[in-house]
Amino acid sequence: MRQSLAHADALYNFARWLARDPVEAEDLVQETYMRELGAAHQFDPGSNLKAWLFRILRNAFIDRRRRSQREGSPPSVEDLDADGERAEPAMGELQLDQIRALVAEDVSAAVHALPESFRTVILLDLEGMTEAEVANVLGCATGTVKSRLSRARAVLRDRLAAYRQYAEEGSR
């Protein structure tokens, strides 16, 4: 499946956001392609190659995190139950304006600060995947993706508004 190499940029971008480290991101992409080659016989040619590759990459990332935990690293914020986060009430126009004024640095920080499960659905959604495709990557039901995406976006909006408010207070 030589065409899978055409997804290298998208996979690397996803890996960068998951791992937060360029070296680990490269390792993850390489591992993804190695795993793909090893499991090529399991791929159904009629199914979605991109979603399959993203699923392999995410599984590789989770395996690495589990290994590092077994080796004694403390659990990170990634491991906390993201379902505990609750959406905030609807925003006012002022908060929306605050979010519009954010710069790339703030947006990056807010996305990085999300739990892994939330970050993943946000990134896959930005990749243009449908909820069914995201469900394929995560190995869960479409309804789960819908509710997780909704909660992830609510948490992100809340954090982005908080960043802007903090920046404005700091500049006074």
Partner 1 sequence: MDCGKARELSLDGLRQRLPSELAAELREHLSGCAPCSNHAEAERVLSEVLDASLPQYAAPLALKRRLAASWPASTPAAAPPRGIGRPAWASAMAMAAAVTLVVVGSTAFFVQQRSELRQLESETVNDHLRMLGGAPLAQVTGGLHEVKPWFGGKLDFAPAVRFAGNDDFPLQGGAVEPFLDRRAAVFVYKRRLHTASLFVVQDNGLAFPTSLRTRTVRGFSVALWKEGDQGYALVSDLNLRELLDLQAEIASP
Tokens 């599984």 sit on residue: 59
- Of these, 35, 55, 64, 146, which contacts partner 1 (CB under 8 A)? 146
Closest by alpha carbon to 152, among 113, 97, 96?
113
Tokens 């979010």 sit on residue: 99
Tell me the C-alpha distance between 25 and 61, whole Å: 9
Tell me the C-alpha distance between 6 and 155, whole Å: 33
Q: Is 29 in the site for partner 1 (CB under 8 A)?
A: yes
Per the structure block, which two tokens stand in for 20?
């937060």
Q: Is 25 in the site for partner 1 (CB under 8 A)?
A: yes
- Of these, 5, 47, 70, 169, which contacts partner 1 (CB under 8 A)? 5
Q: What residue ranges bind partner 1 (CB under 8 A)? A: 1-2, 5-6, 8-9, 11-13, 16-17, 22, 25-26, 29-30, 33, 37, 90-92, 96-97, 99-104, 106-108, 111, 122, 126, 130, 146, 149-150, 153, 156-157, 160
